[in-house]
């Protein structure tokens, strides 16, 4: 048995009878996640398990090294994420001795008290692997804010925060599904091993009182934002100038004398203009960066490598997220973002074509439950590439469940005359922003920053019609749909081997294509 901590938040786990054959790969796999955790590294190797974690220190900077052990040192856990209700859980677990102030430690003690059912008590974003001396227990947060992937090889199970850590190690790679847990214990494997512990609740009664709705939205979003201030390190907000990120900034600024905000775009980008207006109105310490076409081309391979996708909308929006994360890293370690609002409020323009409430609700559920392959993947990879942690208040479970209970008819712009998308949210925060921002028409992130048109022009210049036709036939099973996608795919293939991975192409491409929240 060996434990070690090194000065070096991604996780890697190997479990099975042949761990001794694979434990030597642990350090190499962790090295591929070094960007996720530059502050510390911890590993633990036993007869049938090897655990590793690269740490970005956010809570209990000095004492929160992982793996974290139970009092008897028979159980331990590695975790990527944040448990926002860990203080309340500590109070419930007063019979346990806590050796750290880390939020991760509540996981192991809560497991000692409740077993697998404990995962439903966690309020936060997380992917963790817990070892009890014999079995492993693996879980991912309800919406997949934090990533987790899995594979098998030589009788062993492998888990990692990013695909690149498993690439070339396992036979095939699958995403560990959000809202699920896995246990190797006999009691759970009889059910198949993988158990869904969370799904959006059935709606028995639609909320349709607009006065009450706006009050609830105001109160619940304010609480969601406040939860995400949990940090022992500097915190700031991305600010695109759109309604979503602007509201997160506005709610935060009410409680902070000093708040750093960050915005990027090409010269003359609309988002830069509106972000300045919001920053001036709120009195934030605003930082911005103007990037060029040459800079986009220079960083594009790095963006695709970290994004682990060649889906065009995802790559386009990842470019500004890359630059704004790079800008923020010199000032903060935790960042709040506006992702998730369009999903719960049916804010995308294409949803206007739906004609009844049932269709709107069904589509909202679909894109919300698929968000882990889209905007959440982009935010996680871009922020972690620069070793900062992104948090998403609009995806607070309490807020999501309430917002999804609102009568879809109130979200349908065509039925609500003289109303615009997300009008309930805007009305709930009247006075928090200048009217020209509060009632600004939605613009997708990549378009507002100016990267969308730029990237499409590059692909058109670089790839001829004949090249595209030839490649489309060659990779017919992947479904290359545009020159832009082919351009990204070529870069992607230089990093990742897609041979034999046709079944997982949905993962590589990022699944459903949609715009990104601003």
Taking the C-alpha atoms of residue 396 and residue 228, their distance in angstroms, rounded to an integer, is: 9
The total of other beta-carbon atoms located within 10 Å of residue 477's CB is: 9
Taking the C-alpha atoms of residue 287 and residue 389, their distance in angstroms, rounded to an integer, is: 18
Average confidence (pLDDT) per 10 residues, the chain, 518 residues = 45 94 92 86 92 73 74 94 95 92 94 96 98 96 97 94 94 94 78 86 95 98 94 90 96 93 93 96 97 93 96 93 97 96 94 92 96 96 94 98 97 77 95 93 62 82 94 90 94 77 47 36
- Domain boundaries along the sequence of the chain: 2-196, 210-509
**Helix H or strand E segment including 391:** strand 389-391
249 is catalytic: no
CATH class of the domain whose range is 210-509: alpha beta
pLDDT at 514: 34
Taking the C-alpha atoms of residue 136 and residue 77, their distance in angstroms, rounded to an integer, is: 9
Hey, what CATH topology would domain 2-196 get?
Answer: 3.60.20
pLDDT at 233: 79
User: Which of 9, 76, 237, 449 is the catalytic position?
Assistant: 9
Structure tokens of 429?
């925060």
Residue of 271, 232, 257, 261 whose CA lies nearest to 444: 271
The end-to-end CA distance of the chain, in Å, is 49
Question: Whose structure tokens read 């009632």?
Answer: 439
Instruction: Note the pTM of the prediction, 2 decimals.
Output: 0.92
**Any bridge partners for residue 53, and if so which?**
11, 42
pLDDT at 445: 56
């Amino acid at each position: 048995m060996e434990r070690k901590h090194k000065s070096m938040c991604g996780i890697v786990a190997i479990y099975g009878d042949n761990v001794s054959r694979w434990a030597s790969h642990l350090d190499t796999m962790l090295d591929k996640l070094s960007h996720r955790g530059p502050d510390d590294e911890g590993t633990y190797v036993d007869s049938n398990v090897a655990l590793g974690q690269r740490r970005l220190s956010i809570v209990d900077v000095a004492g929160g090294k992982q793996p974290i052990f139970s009092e008897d040192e028979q159980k331990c856990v590695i975790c990527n994420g944040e448990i926002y209700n860990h203080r309340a859980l500590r109070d419930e677990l007063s019979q346990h001795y806590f050796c750290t102030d880390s939020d991760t430690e509540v996981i192991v003690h809560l497991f000692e008290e409740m077993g697998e059912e404990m995962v439903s008590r966690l309020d936060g974003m997380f992917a963790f692997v817990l070892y009890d001396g014999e079995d492993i227990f693996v879980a991912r947060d309800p919406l997949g804010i934090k990533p987790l992937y899995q594979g098998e090889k030589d009788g062993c199970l492998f888990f990692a925060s990013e695909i690149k850590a498993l690439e070339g190690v396992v036979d095939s790679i699958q995403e560990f599904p959000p809202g699920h847990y896995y246990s190797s214990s006999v009691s759970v494997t009889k059910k198949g091993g993988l158990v869904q512990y969370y799904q959006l609740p059935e709606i028995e009664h639609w909320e349709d009182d607009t006065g009450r709705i706006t009050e609830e939205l105001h109160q619940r979003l304010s609480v969601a934002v406040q939860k995400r201030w949990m940090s022992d390190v500097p915190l700031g907000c991305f600010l695109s100038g759109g309604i979503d990120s602007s509201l997160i900034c506005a709610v935060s600024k009410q409680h902070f004398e000093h708040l750093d905000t960050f915005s990027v775009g090409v010269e003359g980008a609309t988002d830069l203009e509106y972000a300045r207006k919001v920053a001036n109105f709120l009195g934030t310490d605003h930082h911005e960066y103007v990037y060029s076409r040459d800079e986009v081309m220079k960083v594009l391979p790095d963006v695709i490598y970290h994004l682990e996708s060649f889906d065009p909308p995802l790559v386009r929006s990842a470019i500004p997220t890359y630059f704004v994360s790079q800008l923020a890293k010199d000032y903060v370690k935790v960042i709040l973002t506006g992702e998730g609002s369009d999903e719960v409020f049916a804010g995308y323009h294409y949803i206007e074509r739906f004609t009844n409430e049932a269709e709107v609700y069904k589509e909202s559920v679909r894109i919300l439950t698929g968000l882990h392959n889209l905007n959440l993947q982009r935010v996680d990879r871009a922020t972690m590439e620069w070793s900062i942690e992104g948090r998403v208040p609009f995806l607070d479970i309490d807020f999501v469940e309430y917002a999804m209970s609102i009568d879809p008819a109130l979200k349908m712009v065509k039925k609500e005359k003289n109303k615009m998308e997300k009008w309930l949210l805007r009305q709930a925060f009247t006075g928090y922003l200048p009217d020209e921002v509060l009632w600004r028409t939605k613009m997708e992130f990549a378009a507002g920053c100016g990267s969308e048109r730029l990237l499409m022009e590059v692909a058109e210049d670089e790839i001829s019609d004949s090249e595209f036709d030839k490649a489309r036939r060659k990779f017919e099973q992947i479904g290359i749909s545009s020159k832009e996608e082919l351009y990204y795919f070529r870069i992607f293939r230089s990093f990742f081997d897609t041979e034999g991975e046709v079944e997982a192409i949905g993962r590589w491409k990022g699944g459903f294509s949609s715009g990104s929240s601003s």
